[in-house]
Amino acid sequence: MTTTQGLLSAAILVALAGCQNTLPFGDGAGSFERAKLEGSAPPALVAQFHQLDKNGDGVIDPSEARSDADLMGAFGTADRDGDRQLSLEEFLDSQATESP
């Protein structure tokens, strides 16, 4: 292997290592679908979700839900996929079913 090939290989490995924690388009907290959901939801509920999501990872886990007694009581029902996290969609759905 020549020096040029070695340097090019090293550069490619460094570039790929920087991509290991990225998500494909359409996934994750910054996705287009999530932005559409946030834009169509009541702003007060979106703000409440972000306030409850203390670490900003895009989901509410049980430790974050403890700060809201009503949400904590409904957490198991609201967590439709059973991953012990509430996505924005699950949170909004749970709030819509609680409204009179």
pLDDT tens-place string over residues 55-85: 999 999 999 999 999 999 999 999 999 999 9
Can you give the pTM of this predicted structure?
Answer: 0.65
Ramachandran class of 59: left when φ > 0, alpha when ψ lies in -120 to 50, beta otherwise: beta
Q: Please, are residues 58 and 28 in contact by the beta-carbon 8 Å criterion?
A: yes
The CA-atom distances, in angstroms, between 54 and each of 37, 48, 59, 79, 95 are 20, 11, 9, 18, 19
Model confidence at 22: pLDDT above 50: no
Model confidence at 47: pLDDT above 80: yes
Q: 65 — phi, psi (to 5°)? A: -70, -20
